[in-house]
Amino acid sequence: MPDHYQIITCYEFKDMTLAIPLSEAKIGLLASMGKFSIRGTIILAEEGFNLSVSGKSGNIEKFVKAAQRFLQTELKYKSSFYDRTPFRKIDVKIKPEIVTLKREVDIAKARGTHVSPRAWNMVLNDPDILLLDVRNDYEYRNGTFRSAINPQTEKFSDLPGFVAENFDPAEHKKIAMFCTGGIRCEKFAPYMKGLGFSDVFQLEGGILRYLEEIPKEEQMWEGECFVFDERRTLNETLEKGSGPDYSQKKNQ
């Protein structure tokens, strides 16, 4: 039966110190992944969690219920499907950050920056908008939105340096940004607000939610979307793409 593995991704910025200890959450999540034959990676930090896993649809449903108990939240995840699991590992990691920026960020400053996929095309059509792709260069090369700026970074923590050298809050009044699933923008939009940029917008749910909700004929996306699993890229209908893996070629 094709497409019988469900891949889910989700994240949440929340104070995990108010929940159970991270070490206990890790043990419980690992046990649940083993019990329900779930593969993938979960990252835990005091600032929240980031989850990308796959399994048979029935098992995903059971795992989600178990994970919600350990994470003490309702998982609001994005789904796609594939004919086999795209992950090899069963891994739960405790890290300083769920997405590594290496900068202090007040996540609360993200309020008011989110733009729904339905409204995103209007943002892109604004001639005063400076559109920033906050992903890495090897991701950009597979596909991006029209007129997006490529910072040519190799890792997310390089992005503040690019902004410091190229953007000025006094000059660049409107900045919109996007990433794969939203997590990097969730951190970088408030970072930009903290630098004094007044009008900052981020694509809610990222590229994946945009491709899920916007009909192909209305999309302003060009190319394929790089993903961090065996599928490598997804096309405009969230099926496995055919693009090369530039992440393997960047050092060649």
Would you identify the CATH topology of the domain 107-248?
Oxidized Rhodanese; domain 1 (3.40.250)
Asked if residues 143 and 163 have their Cβ atoms less than 8 Å apart, the reply is no
**Can you spell out the DSSP letters for 202-220?**
EETTHHHHHHHHS-GGG--
In the sheet where 199-203 sits, what is the strand order? 114-115, 199-203, 174-178, 130-133
The predicted-structure confidence for 18-75, as pLDDT tens digits, reads as follows: 989 999 999 999 999 999 999 999 999 999 999 999 999 999 999 999 999 999 999 9
Nearest to 12 by CA among 96, 98, 100: 98
End-to-end, the C-alpha distance of the chain in Å comes to 38
In the chain, list all ranges with CATH 3.40.250.10: 107-248
What pTM does this model have?
Answer: 0.91
Integer Cα distance of 119 and 89 in angstroms: 37
**Residues of the chain predicted below pLDDT 50:** 1, 251-252
Q: Residue 195 burial by CB count (10 A; 0-12/13-18/19+): exposed, middle or buried?
A: middle
> SS3 sequence, 9-44?
EEEEECCHHHCCCHHHHHHHHHHHHHHCCCEEEEEE
Integer Cα distance of 113 and 202 in angstroms: 6
Q: State residue 142's pLDDT score.
A: 96
For residue 56, list its beta bridge partners.
5
List the helix and strand counts (H, then E) for the chain. 7, 13
Quick one: DSSP state of residue 236? T
Q: State residue 19's pLDDT score.
A: 80
Catalytic residues, by residue number, are: 179
Q: State residue 252's pLDDT score.
A: 37
In the chain, list all ranges with CATH 3.30.70.100: 5-94
Integer Cα distance of 62 and 36 in angstroms: 7
Would you identify the CATH topology of the domain 5-94?
Alpha-Beta Plaits (3.30.70)
